[in-house]
Each structure stands twice: as structure tokens, then as C-alpha cells.
Amino acid sequence: MTLPSSQPAPEDDATGDDITTVSSRVAYENRWMRVREDETRLRDGTAGLYGFVEKADFVIIAPIDRGLVHLVQQFRYPIRSRQWEFPQGSWEASPDIDPVEVARGELAEETGLRAGRIEEAGRLYPLYGTVTQSFRIFLASELSPGEARLEHSEQDLVSASVPLAEFERMIVEGSIRDAGTVAAFGLLRLKGLV
């Protein structure tokens, strides 16, 4: 497929003046997120209104080693159900910390696993039409066990290890519905890392 010349290639982080911000206000804010409402103007002069959420970036860690995939399951309040997913998280209090350190820390915190090798596979945006947040994907391997150090809010978290084929079946059958986990695994597969 060839993109029209007026559109940047998908890998470009091109910025332009397709939409100009006229004014911006914070509609709601807490320590984890900010909801912003911007009055905008399109290239043709049409006025518009854009609401979006600003959240800290996060990491997703795919602990895959010796044919096993290590998952966590926890209750996800917004959808009122327990979900299987890769370990993931952010350190909101330390936004400038190296993402590799965050990945190692989240993996150890949630599963107790220590990664002898960690490799960054890429960066994705889960909902860039409404949220500024992105996530970096890491493959963790050469794993050794340790003790998990769960945060108080993660007290319901459990972990499990499943064979790679079982993990793929869980995705296909809908047992794993976390978009970040599915996207991370897809990117790792496409890059030939798993």
C-alpha cells in the first residue's frame, strides 16, 4: 500500500498544524491521570473541541523462557473482572527513570522473577485518539525465581506459568483480552523474538 504524499509514513512522528490548540483546560485531575479539554481549530478554520486523558507511560514485560509464559491475573476494577495479562506498570513517582529499570522492577514486584536478559521490542500507543499514554514492550528471559513484592493495591494478584502453546490458545479463545498483552506478544512474534 502506498500512502498519499500528504500523509507521513506510519513510523514518522511528524507534527504539523492540521489542528491548532486555541485554549486548553484541565477538567479533572488526580495523582494518576489528568483529563484535558482543548478548544481547537482545524486547518480550514473550523472550531472544534477535543477531550483527552494524560497518563504516565508504562511498560509491559513478556516473561517468556524455556517454553513457558509467565502471566499475572488481577481484578481490573473498570471492567469488574479478573484478567490474565503480562506483568505491567509504571512508576508515576519517578517518571524520568530508565524504562528498563521499571521493567525489571515490575517483573520482580509482580512475579518474583528476575531477568538475566531483558530486551526492548518496541513502543506502542494503546488509544492515541483519547490518551497520551504509550507503553514499551520488553522480552524478559533467562529467568530465575524470587519473592514477589506486591503493592497493597495488588494484593489480589496471582501469577501462573503456562506453556507457549497454551498461552496462544488462551489468546485465540478469549481468555486473554488485555490489548497490551496481545499486542506485545504479536510484536514479539513478528520480530521473531519468540
- With a cut of 50, list the residues of the chain below it in pLDDT: 1-3, 5-7, 9
Quick one: pLDDT at residue 6?
47
In this structure, are residues 86 and 124 in contact, taking their beta carbons and an 8 Å threshold?
A: no
In this structure, are residues 158 and 128 in contact, taking their beta carbons and an 8 Å threshold?
A: no
pLDDT digits (tens, 9 = 90+) for 63-90: 999 999 999 999 999 999 999 999 999 9
Quick one: pLDDT at residue 91?
83
The set of residues, in sequence order, having a beta carbon less than 8 Å from that of 164 and lying 6+ positions away, is: 64, 67, 68, 69, 194
DSSP state of 15: -
In this structure, are residues 75 and 68 in contact, taking their beta carbons and an 8 Å threshold?
A: no
Quick one: pLDDT at residue 14?
54
- Spell out the long-range contacts of 54-57 with Cβ–Cβ below 8 A and sequence spacing 24 or more: 54/131, 54/132, 54/133, 55/131, 55/132, 55/133, 56/32, 56/90, 56/92, 56/95, 56/133, 57/90, 57/95, 57/99, 57/133, 57/134, 57/135, 57/136
Domains of the chain: 19-55 (no CATH), 58-190 (3.90.79.10)
Which among 143, 147, 124 has a CA at the least distance from the CA of 135? 124
Quick one: pLDDT at residue 11?
55
Distance CA 34, CA 182 (A): 26
Rg of the chain, C-alpha, whole Å: 19
Full-model pTM: 0.87
